[in-house]
Amino acid sequence: MSNVRDYAFPVALALLLHCGVFALLLQNWQPETDDLRLYEPRVIEAKLIVMEKPAPPPAPKAEPKPAPAPQVAPAPKPQPKPAPTPAPPVEEPPKPDPEETRRAEAERKRQDRLQELSEQSTQLALAEELADLRDAEADAETMSYAAAIRQAIVEAWSRPPSARLGMQARLRVDLVPSGDLLAVTVLESSGNPAFDRSAEVAVRKVGRFDVPKESRLFEKNFRRFTLLFKPEDLLR
């Protein structure tokens, strides 16, 4: 305790001394502001200069090469002319033998006559063949018209109830060139008047028939013809 008291007084004195010194310093110190100046900094502007290389001088234009001189073809060498071929000797034809000439002329006339006879024979054979063909065609045409007449009468014929198998009546028909009916006559009776009459009525009912325009065929086959009537069918 006595030690603390011994150190308290000197410490307080030291503190008081320091405070007085600090107060004097604050009172007497002033900053020197008169000599203080502001200097603006200098700015140095630097520019980069690029040195361009000088352009090279233009290259000299190449002069065109002179065209080569045309080559002249050498003149063809003259060909030697062929030696002329000698003309063959002309042989005089032998003089004809008069006897041989006469025989050849006689043979030619004989052959001409045989050819003429052969042509005449061929023409005759052709004429006969054509006549046969015309007859065959005429027969075919006749059959065609006859079938048409038969069909027309069959369609017009009405068989009577009294008709029996085995009955038949034969009629003759006369026509004019136009095909119109001129007359119909019963040549052979069936024995049944109703049957005969029905056949005659059928012919008259048709009245006009289709006939060929050619007069030769008409006169030969259709100017007058006969018909055979049977109950089961109509036959010529």
d(CA 118, CA 75): 75
pTM over 0.75: no
d(CA 203, CA 201): 5
Query: What DSSP letter does each residue of 60-75 carry, written as one string?
Result: PPPPPPPPPPPPPPPP
* 15 phi and psi angles, rounded to 5 deg: -65, -40
Identify the helix (H) or strand (E) that includes residue 216.
helix 215-217
Asked if CATH classification 3.30.1150.10 holds for the domain at 132-235, the reply, yes or no, is yes
| Predicted confidence pLDDT, tens digits, the chain (236 residues) | 555 556 666 667 777 777 766 666 666 555 554 444 544 555 545 454 445 555 666 666 666 666 666 676 666 777 777 767 777 767 777 777 788 888 888 888 877 776 766 555 444 444 444 444 455 556 778 888 888 998 999 899 888 888 888 888 999 999 999 999 999 999 999 899 999 999 999 999 998 999 999 888 899 888 998 988 887 754 43
User: Can you give 98-165 as a three-state secondary structure string?
Assistant: HHHHHHHHHHHHHHHHHHHHHHHHHHHHHHHHHHHHHHHHHHHHHHHHHHHHHHHHHHHCCCCCCCCC
Q: Please identify which residue in the block is written with the tokens 């024979």.
A: 121
